């Protein structure tokens, strides 16, 4: 049992099966050896026979097996909701992208020692890194068994297991059945070349229309299309390019995703990127409870319940767009970026209105001619400097924390606090980022007044740790004026 949990609150949420607490704790039944989500529809066990755990990994570390009915391993954001420390959050994110990484390899990427990382995991998650890695591998394996028809050897490899025997033993010990038996208990969805099809769950409500509206006004001609309730864009998959399509299945609280020309080996990294891009780890009920105390924000919350922070597919691409957009309108910036993609992007006629892919930082660093950008020389030079920093690895969106990224970006001449905050907001998936220098935010909070950045910062303290969502709600109010 995790000492930091409010046991009385957990018991109330369990008895009521309150969906607002789905994924925020897990119920382990001592008489069956199984752990569930609080929303599981099984007959409620007696209170004396249960324990509560803050994470699936903590329950599994005590020998409990996941429930096959409520699928606790598929709970949206079972790690992300806890607000863990930066190094722990990054470690978990990197393991979801590549569960085969060893702890020593992870420490090298994070720049910390193994003993220090162990202390951080114990402090923030209540379990050691090995238990978390095992839990993530198990989750990924279960998802692949449920959602695909991939051969067992590929499921084992993609889930990070170096041994087929270890894979079989781990699933047998945790689920009480073999991988083949486990797959036969579900109806696997089809995964066939040249297209990967999969579904990603979210916590309702989800304002899909508002997310598409935000992305639509910023879509790059030729590289992105939003129409008929569907988001489409070109994406790079190794040396190939594929077409990404995403739409909402509102009834089943999930997004339906399809990626063409994608090898099965890309499935796990694809799903994790899309969860971040469309903010599927968010807990909208908790967010609205905090932000709803502010009258101005409550207006937007009532009109747009479940508004998400629209992320991005590629941090570098978003950073280029943010620099272009400094001091000009969004349509003007998109026109310039569209020309850049047409001139330097990769031609890849994928159909559905997609003809180009955004150019890599390496290509732009080597070929970009500043006079073709149709913008002030200083801003164009900032883009070239960014390309060089990203191509050399000085800026790395996969490894850096938001604080590190913002610091490195502002070391580039021509990139200020607003641009750095905006990039962190959309590319780093941090829920508490807010660009205090934003003129719209300063004007929208108090009608008829403009707050200073310092005043906005003081006022926003009450919205922590959800200031990124406050930002989106205030921008939404401004768009609807």
- In this structure, the answer to whether residues 102 and 179 fall within a common structural domain is yes
From 74, 99, 125, the end of a domain falls on 74
Mean pLDDT of the chain: 86
Q: Which domain holds residue 52?
A: 7-74
Q: Choosing from 10, 36, 107, 312, which is the catalytic residue? A: 36
367 pLDDT more than 70: yes
- In this structure, the answer to whether residues 127 and 167 fall within a common structural domain is yes
Residue 64 belongs to a domain: yes
- In this structure, the answer to whether residues 167 and 113 fall within a common structural domain is yes
- In this structure, the answer to whether residues 105 and 30 fall within a common structural domain is no
Asked if residues 87 and 94 have their Cβ atoms less than 8 Å apart, the reply is no
What is the pLDDT at residue 75? 62
- In this structure, the answer to whether residues 121 and 155 fall within a common structural domain is yes
- Which of 74-111 are b and which e, b meaning 16 or more Cβ less than 10 Å from the residue's Cβ? bbbbbbbbbebebbbbbbbbbbbeebebebeebbeebe
What is the pLDDT at residue 430? 83
Closest listed residue to residue 388, CA positions, set 470, 448, 320, 338 = 320
pLDDT in tens, 242-300: 999 999 999 989 999 999 887 766 777 788 889 889 998 888 988 999 999 999 999 99
Task: Establish how many alpha carbons lie within 13 A of residue 463's alpha carbon, considering only the half-sphere containing its beta carbon.
Answer: 27
pLDDT in tens, 57-75: 788 888 898 888 787 766 6
* 99: phi then psi, degrees, rounded to nearest 5: -70, -5
- In this structure, the answer to whether residues 87 and 59 fall within a common structural domain is no
Is 438 part of the annotated catalytic residue set?
A: yes
Closest listed residue to residue 278, CA positions, set 259, 255, 295, 260 = 255
Residue 262 belongs to a domain: no
Residue 316 belongs to a domain: no
Query: Tokens 């949990």 identify what position?
Result: 5
176 pLDDT more than 90: no
- In this structure, the answer to whether residues 107 and 172 fall within a common structural domain is yes
Structure tokens at 392: 């050399």
Pick 174 or 233 by higher pLDDT: 233
Asked if residues 218 and 334 have their Cβ atoms less than 8 Å apart, the reply is yes
Residue 22 belongs to a domain: yes
- In this structure, the answer to whether residues 176 and 88 fall within a common structural domain is yes
- In this structure, the answer to whether residues 94 and 168 fall within a common structural domain is yes
Residue 12 belongs to a domain: yes
Average pLDDT over residues 2-26: 77
| CATH number (domain holding residue 18) | 3.40.10.10
pLDDT in tens, 378-410: 999 999 999 999 999 999 988 788 888 999 999
Q: Choosing from 51, 283, 314, 438, which is the catalytic residue? A: 438
| CATH number (domain holding residue 134) | 1.10.10.60
186 pLDDT more than 60: no
What is the pLDDT at residue 265? 66
- In this structure, the answer to whether residues 87 and 180 fall within a common structural domain is yes
What is the pLDDT at residue 264? 67
Beta-sheet strand order (sheet of 240-249):
195-201, 254-260, 240-249, 230-237, 224-227
Number of domains making up the chain: 2
Is 36 part of the annotated catalytic residue set?
A: yes
Q: pLDDT category, 190, cuts 50, 70, 90?
A: very low
455 pLDDT more than 90: yes
Residue 473 belongs to a domain: no
195 pLDDT more than 80: no
- In this structure, the answer to whether residues 61 and 94 fall within a common structural domain is no
Average pLDDT over residues 228-252: 92
Residue 403 belongs to a domain: no
CA dist., res. 215 & res. 224, Å (int): 9
Residue 426 belongs to a domain: no
What is the pLDDT at residue 193? 46
- In this structure, the answer to whether residues 100 and 57 fall within a common structural domain is no
From 74, 101, 126, the end of a domain falls on 74
From 184, 209, 236, the end of a domain falls on 184
């Amino acid at each position: 049992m995790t000492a930091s949990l409010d046991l009385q609150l957990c018991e109330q949420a369990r008895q009521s099966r309150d969906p607002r607490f789905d994924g925020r704790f897990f119920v382990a039944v001592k008489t069956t050896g199984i752990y569930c989500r609080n929303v599981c529809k099984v007959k409620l066990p007696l209170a004396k026979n249960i324990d509560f755990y803050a994470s699936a990994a903590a329950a599994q570390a005590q020998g409990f097996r996941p429930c096959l009915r409520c699928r606790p391993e598929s709970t949206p954001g079972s790690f992300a909701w806890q607000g863990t420390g930066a190094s722990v959050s990054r470690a978990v994110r990197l393991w979801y992208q590549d569960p085969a990484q060893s702890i020593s390899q992870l420490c090298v990427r994070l720049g910390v020692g193994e003993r220090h990382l162990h202390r951080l995991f114990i402090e923030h998650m209540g379990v050691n890194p090995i238990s978390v890695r095992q839990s993530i591998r198990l989750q990924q394996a279960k998802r692949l068994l449920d959602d695909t028809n991939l051969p067992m050897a590929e499921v084992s490899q993609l889930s990070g297991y170096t041994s087929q025997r270890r894979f079989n033993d781990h699933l047998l010990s945790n689920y009480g059945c073999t991988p083949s038996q486990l797959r036969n208990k579900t109806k696997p969805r089809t995964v066939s070349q040249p297209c990967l099809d999969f579904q990603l769950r979210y916590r309702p409500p989800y304002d899909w229309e508002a997310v598409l509206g935000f992305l639509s006004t910023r879509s790059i001609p030729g590289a992105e299309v939003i129409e008929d309730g569907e988001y489409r864009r070109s994406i790079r998959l190794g040396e190939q390019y594929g077409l990404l399509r995403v739409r909402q299945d509102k009834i089943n609280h999930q997004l339906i995703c399809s990626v063409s020309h994608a090898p099965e080996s890309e499935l796990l990294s694809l799903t994790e990127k899309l969860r971040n891009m469309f903010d599927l780890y968010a807990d909208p009920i908790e967010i609205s409870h905090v932000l709803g105390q502010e009258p101005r924000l409550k207006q937007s919350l009532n009109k747009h319940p479940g508004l998400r922070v629209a992320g991005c597919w590629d941090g570098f691409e978003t950073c280029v767009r943010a620099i272009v957009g400094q001091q000009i309108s969004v349509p003007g910036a998109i026109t310039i970026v569209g020309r850049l993609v047409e001139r330097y992007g990769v031609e890849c006629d994928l159909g559905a209105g997609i003809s180009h892919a955004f150019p890599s930082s390496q290509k732009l660093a080597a070929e970009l001619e500043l006079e073709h950008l149709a913008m002030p020389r200083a801003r164009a030079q900032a883009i070239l400097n960014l390309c060089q920093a990203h191509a050399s690895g000085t800026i790395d969106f996969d490894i850096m924390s938001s604080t590190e990224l913002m610091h490195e970006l502002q070391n580039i001449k021509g990139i200020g606090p607003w641009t750095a905050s905006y990039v962190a907001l959309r590319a780093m998936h941090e829920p508490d980022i807010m660009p205090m220098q934003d003129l719209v935010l300063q004007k929208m909070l108090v009608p008829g007044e403009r707050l200073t950045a310092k005043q906005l910062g003081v006022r926003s303290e009450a919205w922590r740790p959800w200031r990124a969502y406050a930002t989106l709600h205030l921008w939404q109010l401004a768009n609807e004026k």
